[in-house]
Amino acid sequence: KQEVTQIPAALSVPEGENLVLNCSFTDSAIYNLQWFRQDPGKGLTSLLLIQSSQREQTSGRLNASLDKSSGRSTLYIAASQPGDSATYLCAVRGAYNQGGKLIFGQGTELSVKP
Partner 1 sequence: DGGITQSPKYLFRKEGQNVTLSCEQNLNHDAMYWYRQDPGQGLRLIYYSQIVNDFQKGDIAEGYSVSREKKESFPLTVTSAQKNPTAFYLCASSIVGAYNEQFFGPGTRLTVL
Q: Which residues bind partner 1 (CB under 8 A)?
A: 4, 31-32, 34, 36, 41-46, 49, 51, 89, 91, 93, 95, 98-107
CB nearer partner 1, residue 18 or residue 51: 51
DSSP secondary structure, the chain, as one string = ---EEEE-SEEEEETT--EEEEEEES---EEEEEEEEE-TTS-EEEEEEEETT-SEEEETTEEEEEETTTTEEEEEE-S--GGG-EEEEEEEEETT-STT-EEE---EEEEEE-
Find the shortest distance in angstroms from Cβ 70 to partner 1: 21
CB nearer partner 1, residue 50 or residue 112: 50
Find the shortest distance in angstroms from Cβ 101 to partner 1: 5
